[in-house]
């Protein structure tokens, strides 16, 4: 069926409220999931609703938690997500961090006791729209082995980056350090579809096209040993420096079993005018050079185009997804 973004947000928000999530948190989660769906990231979109709700009902996620900020140092905003959803904590960072950055030139938000960070492009983009450069790092439950190993130790540990571009949408980069995001494997599993044989390994370390075997095995790192090393870097930034669980300590985001995942996120934001200045204009010149050759597209543009189309024409939601959501009301 086709539904407008506003209708989708109201629907998803009402589902979460019906299942014990406070209204502000429900609205935050609904907005993030709907925007992810609109951007073509269905693995981080509405297919997450049933698992999220089950986690609220079992107490794995506290639907009534409120993120609590503190500022232990002038350039550091610490946010305790209190085992609630990540999105209210990310909203708080987007609200509070920019003013600190404009005073300091650079600042970071360290978020702990959190949950699924979702499509991080949507978070860093909010900073770029305010004229700031932003980088974000997040860890996730263990799904990727150190290079040469078979035992999951790191998460897919995504990184995201955004910078303003004069007269255009921000340049946004968002990527998991596995070859593909684990949400894509989950989506294939729900659709009973196979996956390419270079996405993941089974529990014995063999390439697999079976998403169920992949979910019980390990994800292939992007770039081989280099991707695994970057995943370790993110583990340090997102968990080691924030006090969150390391990936191997975190429970799954896909089911309701176990304790709260207690994951971590770090956002580093920079005022580009504090250094050389004129960054947005220089980025516009760089973007022109990048796209001068036919067939070259700037990172993040596809997702932005899809969101604009969805705003005009609505979201097309698959029947099985809508049925699973309707069953939760």
pTM: 0.93
Residue 148 scores a pLDDT above 90: no
Cα 248 to Cα 154: distance, rounded to the nearest angstrom = 6
> How confident is the model over 3-28, as a mean pLDDT?
98
| pLDDT of amino acid 205 | 87
Give residue 184's pLDDT: 86
Per the model's pLDDT, the better-predicted residue between 269 and 329 turns out to be 269
Checking if the pLDDT of 13 tops 90, the result is yes
Q: What is the pLDDT of residue 75?
A: 98
Domain 2-178+221-277+301-326 = CATH 3.30.1370.60: yes
Instruction: Write down the domain spans for the chain.
Output: 2-178+221-277+301-326
Averaged pLDDT for residues 108-123: 98
> What pLDDT digit, counting tens, does each position of 23-59 carry?
999 999 999 999 999 999 988 999 999 999 999 999 9
Residue-level pLDDT at 181: 81
- Would you say residue 255 has pLDDT above 90? yes
Closest CA to 98 of 66, 131, 139, 59: 131
């Amino acid at each position: 069926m086709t539904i407008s973004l506003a209708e989708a947000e109201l629907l998803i928000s009402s589902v979460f409220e019906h299942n014990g999530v406070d209204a502000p948190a429900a609205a935050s989660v609904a907005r993030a999931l709907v925007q992810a769906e609109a951007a073509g990231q269905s693995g981080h979109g509405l297919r997450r609703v049933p698992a999220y709700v089950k986690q609220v009902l079992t107490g794995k996620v506290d639907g009534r938690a409120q993120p609590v900020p503190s500022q232990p140092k002038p350039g550091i905003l610490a946010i305790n997500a209190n085992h609630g959803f990540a999105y209210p904590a990310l909203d708080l960072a987007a609200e509070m961090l920019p003013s600190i950055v404009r005073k300091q030139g650079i600042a970071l938000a360290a978020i702990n006791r959190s949950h699924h960070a979702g499509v991080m492009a949507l978070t860093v983009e909010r900073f770029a729209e305010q004229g700031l450069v932003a980088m974000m790092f997040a860890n996730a439950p263990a799904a990727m082995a150190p290079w040469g190993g078979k035992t999951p130790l790191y998460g897919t540990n995504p990184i995201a980056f955004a910078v303003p571009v004069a007269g255009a949408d921000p340049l946004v980069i968002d990527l998991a350090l596995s070859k593909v995001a684990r949400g894509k494997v989950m989506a294939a599993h729900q659709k009973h579809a196979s996956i390419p044989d270079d996405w993941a390994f089974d529990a014995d370390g063999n390439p697999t096209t079976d998403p169920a075997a992949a979910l019980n095995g390990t994800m292939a790192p992007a770039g081989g040993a280099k991707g695994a090393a970057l995943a370790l870097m993110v583990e340090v930034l997102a968990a080691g420096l924030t006090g969150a669980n390391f990936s191997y300590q975190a429970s799954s985001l896909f089911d309701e079993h176990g304790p709260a995942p207690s994951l971590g996120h770090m956002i580093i934001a920079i005022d580009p005018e504090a250094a050389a200045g004129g960054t947005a204009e220089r980025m516009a010149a760089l973007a022109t050079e990048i796209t001068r050759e036919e067939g070259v597209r700037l990172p993040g543009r596809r997702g932005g185009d899809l969101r604009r189309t969805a705003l005009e024409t609505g979201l097309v939601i698959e029947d099985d997804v809508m049925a699973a959501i309707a069953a939760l009301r």
